[in-house]
Structure 1
Amino acid sequence: MATVELRFSAQPEHVRTARLVAAAVARRAGVEEAVLDEVRLAVGEACSRAVGLHRGAGVTAPVRVMLTEEEKVFSIEVGDGVPGLGAGAAEDGAQRSVPADLDEEEDEMGLAVISGLVDDVEVTSDSYGGVIRMSWPIAPHAEPA
């Protein structure tokens, strides 16, 4: 299992770098070329959302992105450091509120966009912050003749 970890300050200009790194690692892992745009867009949306949550809540901790290649799946986790509200729905099912200056409709729209792009997505939140987990299948490698 190969893992790449990326941490960046909650600045919008770093989201582009996260998208580029995610696409490069996904390509290297064997994610189909036709799916790479979806990876880029989903990571961009998740990272933009995390940046907005950090800035809205005054959190100075970095946004975390974990890119993991396993045998048949490539997964990405985008974590924010906004305790108890970062990823929308809590593990106990209770709704968490977003910072007052972050539009709740905009937050829900971001999650809807991610859900539309990624078949396998999970959103969790706890006392440390929120995590959006996304995964894509890895194309089987052809055996040399």
Structure 2
Amino acid sequence: MATVELRFSAQPEHVRTARLVAAAVARRAGVDEAVLDEVRLAVGEACSRAVGLHRSHGITAPVRVVLTEEEKTFSIEVVDEVPAAGAEGSSAASDGRGGTEPDVESEDEDEMGLAVISGLVDDVEVSSTEEGGVIRMSWPTTPVAVEP
């Protein structure tokens, strides 16, 4: 099981780098070439969402992206450090994380981002705890022939 971990400051300009790294690692892991655009878009959406959450809640910790290659699966976790408001295991779109008075516009953007990710990825899980939120996405892989 190979794992790559990427951490970046919550700046929008770093999302592009995360997308490029995710696509390169997915290709190397054996994700079908036809699906790589979906990987890029889903990772971009998840990272943009995490950056927005960090910035709107004043979190200075980096956004974390964990790319894991398993035997028949490639998975990506995008992790933010915005704590849930006592809603362990709930969907990040509806948990009211981090604020006493949720911003309706940012909640709408959050729900739209999660809808886009769900449309791009068949296997997606969204969760949040007191430590932060995680969007976990995975795709099937085919073995890649290693060149000698």
TM-score (norm 2): 0.88
Alignment correspondent of 1:66: 66
Alignment correspondent of 1:48: 48
Q: Give the alignment of 1:5-16 within 5 angstroms.
A: 5-16=5-16
Q: Give the alignment of 1:1-145 within 5 angstroms.
A: 1-84=1-84, 90-91=88-89, 95-98=94-97, 100-101=102-103, 103-141=106-144
Is there any run of 5+ residues in structure 2 with no aligned partner, and where?
none
Identity %, equivalent residues: 78
Cα separation, 2, equivalents of 1:49 and 1:15: 10
**Deviations, residues 20-48 of structure 1 (Å, cap 9, x unaligned):** 00000000000010000000000000000
Is there any run of 5+ residues in structure 1 with no aligned partner, and where?
none
Cα separation, 1, equivalents of 2:27 and 2:128: 29
Cα separation, 2, equivalents of 1:6 and 1:117: 22
Cα separation, 2, equivalents of 1:62 and 1:141: 32
Q: 1:63 to 1:115 in 2, by over 3 A?
A: same
Cα separation, 2, equivalents of 1:92 and 1:138: 29
Paired amino acid for 1:44: G
Give the CA deviation at 1:141: 4.4
Equivalent residues, number: 140
Cα separation, 2, equivalents of 1:19 and 1:121: 17
Give the CA deviation at 1:139: 1.7
Note the aligned Cα RMSD (angstroms): 2.0
Instruction: Report the secondary structure of 1:91's partner residue.
Output: coil
**Deviations, residues 28-83 of structure 1 (Å, cap 9, x unaligned):** 00001000000000000000000000000000000000000000000000000001
Give the CA deviation at 1:96: 1.2
Paired amino acid for 2:117: I
Cα separation, 2, equivalents of 1:60 and 1:23: 26
Instruction: Report the secondary structure of 1:58's partner residue.
Output: coil
